[in-house]
Chain A
């Protein structure tokens, strides 16, 4: 009897979780569906759209004809990879020293870095805009790489710090006892042990930078505009074009979705690192 109860409860939970998951996924699914409809069909009632309208790829053609997807795509790619790479370059030594040679105020420094994330970005938009204008890096990929690196730097440092802290000090001491120099200790012991953590940090930050919309929209016009600006251009004063907006959105999120899909194991492991042992 007891077993029956558990089984039925289990199936109820499974159904509930499935329904919740579907609910969360639904907006994305709906965007995909709309992107394969004509503009006329895309504004009909939902049930009618599902049951009585045909499928077409014309929106994708129209989007590609109006704006150069690959230019935006390459901008997004350069900005997200560039800012993550630069961020890692700065964050690795920072997290390293905080994790392995902590000072009295290391915790305060970490909190201070995190506190910058609590600031509403729009609060510093004007000064940053003016600085960018004066430096002549408005609407440049360099400018965006710098600003996104700065935005994500606290997260990168925090994540790496947590991963490095998880590496037991005794293992590093063992390497030292085993005759390894600092360089050998880093190459043979530390880096191999930190790689999973560093990989998930890179993945998460590429995703964050790829999806970042506030700064990318406000600091670009045409030349450096990434995919976020590409999507935004379809909710324009000319009117809403649901099908094209959806097609543009699908094109923008597809690459990161595919990357996320293939790296989900790594991501989940990275994000729950330390929580689950």
Chain B
């Protein structure tokens, strides 16, 4: 079981309020991602759940029991750190065994769980090595192994992939998702990378300055961002925003349109612009287009093989169904 509920949780460091009171419910078995820019309080929130930081106000409930005053060891949660935080003086086997040793689990049971975890995580051949002799990806797998064997109520991941190189990150992302499907245990995952959030989460919690901006499934956030911050943060490349008269035409203070929701034509369209720099990704090409009367150039997606060059004049038509409208307070208009 891993049902976690935060009620009026608030955190201050000295006089600075990092997290104003917030409520959040995490269902058993859910994969929840806390996402936001650096310093938005997502790691602090995770550490409050873990018990590594004390809440200033409010309660943390785990499976219906008030865990606010419980030390981390008693909460039944396992954590995977950004730096892996392996014990450098212990072999991989002893690293993985450590939480079971602390829990006084019988030796045979420890052995069974270690070999099971090692098999799942492809670590069988490395059990007698020290963490220093492993690659980054292997170290991260040991850290995950150490978390699995405890059979925790929930897994907490604190930016676990940010120390890995790009290729490895994609692989580990899949492995963690796979693990979640297999174990069906609650996972809370902190990242600043919205791609990780979109690809892995059942539910995304977008945070800014300690405040929850929106909670929802990846597609909900993509389709109906509640405010400008979420709209700009979710989706890659970023959503284009247009203010002024163009927005006023749609009865909004600001309109947002994603690069993939703009049709490109050589002959005619609603807006006319000049092609700037382009990024060819093979499958797609992203153009920066300076449109007459717009303060910022737009990012536009076109096919991978499209024949457009720097300085060309093109015509753009936004897909009106996919147009997002926001008022002066940056909130979504229905």
Asked whether any CB of chain A lies closer than 8 Å to the CB of B73, the reply is yes
In the assembled complex, which residues on chain A have CB atoms less than 8 Å from the CB atom of B78?
177-178
- Among A178, A188, A192, contact of B150 (Cβ-Cβ < 8 Å): A178
Query: Is the pair B85, A181 in contact by a Cβ cutoff of 8 Å?
Result: no
Asked whether any CB of chain A lies closer than 8 Å to the CB of B182, the reply is no
Query: Is the pair A170, B71 in contact by a Cβ cutoff of 8 Å?
Result: no
Those of A149-175 within 8 Å (CB) of chain B: 168, 170-171, 173-175
In the assembled complex, which residues on chain B have CB atoms less than 8 Å from the CB atom of A32?
none
> What distance in Å separates the Cβ of B49 from its nearest Cβ neighbour in chain A?
11
| Binary flags per residue of B115-148, CB closer than 8 Å to A gives 1, else 0 | 0000000000000000000000000000000100
Residue of A nearest to B101 (CB): A188
Q: A168-B85, A178-B102 are in contact. Are A173 and B73 (CB under 8 A)?
A: no
Those of A17-54 within 8 Å (CB) of chain B: none
In the assembled complex, which residues on chain A have CB atoms less than 8 Å from the CB atom of B82?
170
State A173–B79 Cα separation when bound (angstroms): 9
Those of A166-206 within 8 Å (CB) of chain B: 168, 170-171, 173-181, 184, 188-189, 192-193
Q: A171-B87, A176-B71 are in contact. Are A184 and B81 (CB under 8 A)?
A: no
| SS class, residues of chain B in contact with chain A | loop
Asked whether any CB of chain A lies closer than 8 Å to the CB of B281, the reply is no
State A211–B119 Cα separation when bound (angstroms): 57
- Among A168, A177, A192, A193, contact of B72 (Cβ-Cβ < 8 Å): A177
- Among B77, B83, B89, B103, contact of A177 (Cβ-Cβ < 8 Å): B77
Query: Is the pair B99, A178 in contact by a Cβ cutoff of 8 Å?
Result: yes
Query: Is the pair A176, B52 in contact by a Cβ cutoff of 8 Å?
Result: yes
Residue of B nearest to A169 (CB): B85
State A171–B146 Cα separation when bound (angstroms): 13
Those of B66-113 within 8 Å (CB) of chain A: 71-73, 77-79, 81-83, 85-89, 98-99, 102-103
> What distance in Å separates the Cβ of B163 from its nearest Cβ neighbour in chain A?
12
Q: A170-B85, A193-B88 are in contact. Are A180 and B79 (CB under 8 A)?
A: no
Query: Is the pair B85, A173 in contact by a Cβ cutoff of 8 Å?
Result: yes
Q: A168-B85, A171-B85 are in contact. Are A177 and B52 (CB under 8 A)?
A: yes
In the assembled complex, which residues on chain A have CB atoms less than 8 Å from the CB atom of B103?
179
Q: A179-B99, A179-B102, A184-B102 are in contact. Are A173 and B87 (CB under 8 A)?
A: no
Asked whether any CB of chain A lies closer than 8 Å to the CB of B207, the reply is no
Residue of A nearest to B99 (CB): A178
In the assembled complex, which residues on chain B have CB atoms less than 8 Å from the CB atom of A168?
83, 85
How many residues of A are counted as interface, with CB atoms below 8 angstroms from the partner's CB atoms? 17
> What distance in Å separates the Cβ of A227 from its nearest Cβ neighbour in chain B?
37
Query: Is the pair A177, B102 in contact by a Cβ cutoff of 8 Å?
Result: no
Determine the interface band of chain B, counting residues with CB < 8 A from chain A: 20 to 34
In the assembled complex, which residues on chain B have CB atoms less than 8 Å from the CB atom of A189?
87
In the assembled complex, which residues on chain A have CB atoms less than 8 Å from the CB atom of B99?
178-179
> What distance in Å separates the Cβ of A56 from its nearest Cβ neighbour in chain B?
52
Query: Is the pair A192, B89 in contact by a Cβ cutoff of 8 Å?
Result: yes
> What distance in Å separates the Cβ of B42 from its nearest Cβ neighbour in chain A?
16
In the assembled complex, which residues on chain B have CB atoms less than 8 Å from the CB atom of A173?
52, 72, 79, 81, 85
> What distance in Å separates the Cβ of B73 from its nearest Cβ neighbour in chain A?
4
In the assembled complex, which residues on chain A have CB atoms less than 8 Å from the CB atom of B86?
171, 174
Query: Is the pair A178, B83 in contact by a Cβ cutoff of 8 Å?
Result: no
In the assembled complex, which residues on chain A have CB atoms less than 8 Å from the CB atom of B89?
192-193
In the assembled complex, which residues on chain B have CB atoms less than 8 Å from the CB atom of A180?
73, 98, 102
State A175–B98 Cα separation when bound (angstroms): 8
> What distance in Å separates the Cβ of A262 from its nearest Cβ neighbour in chain B?
23
In the assembled complex, which residues on chain A have CB atoms less than 8 Å from the CB atom of B88?
171, 193
Q: A189-B87, A192-B89, A193-B88 are in contact. Are A178 and B81 (CB under 8 A)?
A: no
Asked whether any CB of chain A lies closer than 8 Å to the CB of B50, the reply is yes
State A184–B103 Cα separation when bound (angstroms): 11
Query: Is the pair B102, A170 in contact by a Cβ cutoff of 8 Å?
Result: no
Query: Is the pair B98, A188 in contact by a Cβ cutoff of 8 Å?
Result: yes
Query: Is the pair A176, B87 in contact by a Cβ cutoff of 8 Å?
Result: no
Query: Is the pair A170, B83 in contact by a Cβ cutoff of 8 Å?
Result: yes
Residue of B nearest to A189 (CB): B87
State A173–B78 Cα separation when bound (angstroms): 11
In the assembled complex, which residues on chain A have CB atoms less than 8 Å from the CB atom of B146?
174, 178
Q: A179-B73, A181-B73 are in contact. Are A174 and B102 (CB under 8 A)?
A: no
Residue of B nearest to A184 (CB): B102
> What distance in Å separates the Cβ of B76 from its nearest Cβ neighbour in chain A?
9
Residue of B nearest to A193 (CB): B89
Q: A168-B85, A189-B87, A193-B89 are in contact. Are A177 and B79 (CB under 8 A)?
A: yes
> What distance in Å separates the Cβ of B14 from its nearest Cβ neighbour in chain A?
10
> What distance in Å separates the Cβ of A122 from its nearest Cβ neighbour in chain B?
45
> What distance in Å separates the Cβ of A1 from its nearest Cβ neighbour in chain B?
38
Residue of A nearest to B81 (CB): A170
> What distance in Å separates the Cβ of A153 from its nearest Cβ neighbour in chain B?
28
State A174–B98 Cα separation when bound (angstroms): 10
In the assembled complex, which residues on chain A have CB atoms less than 8 Å from the CB atom of B79?
173-174, 177
- B82, B88, B146 interface centre (most CB from chain A within 10 Å): B88
Residue of A nearest to B47 (CB): A173
What are 11 pairs between A and B in contact, CB < 8 Å? A170-B83, A173-B52, A174-B79, A175-B98, A176-B73, A177-B50, A178-B98, A178-B150, A179-B73, A181-B73, A184-B102
Known A174-B87, A177-B52; 6 more pairs at CB < 8 Å: A170-B81, A173-B72, A173-B81, A174-B146, A176-B52, A177-B73
Q: Pick the 7 closest A-B CB pairs, nearest first.
A: A178-B99, A174-B85, A179-B102, A170-B85, A179-B73, A177-B79, A192-B89
Give the interface of A toward B (CB within 8 A). 168, 170-171, 173-181, 184, 188-189, 192-193
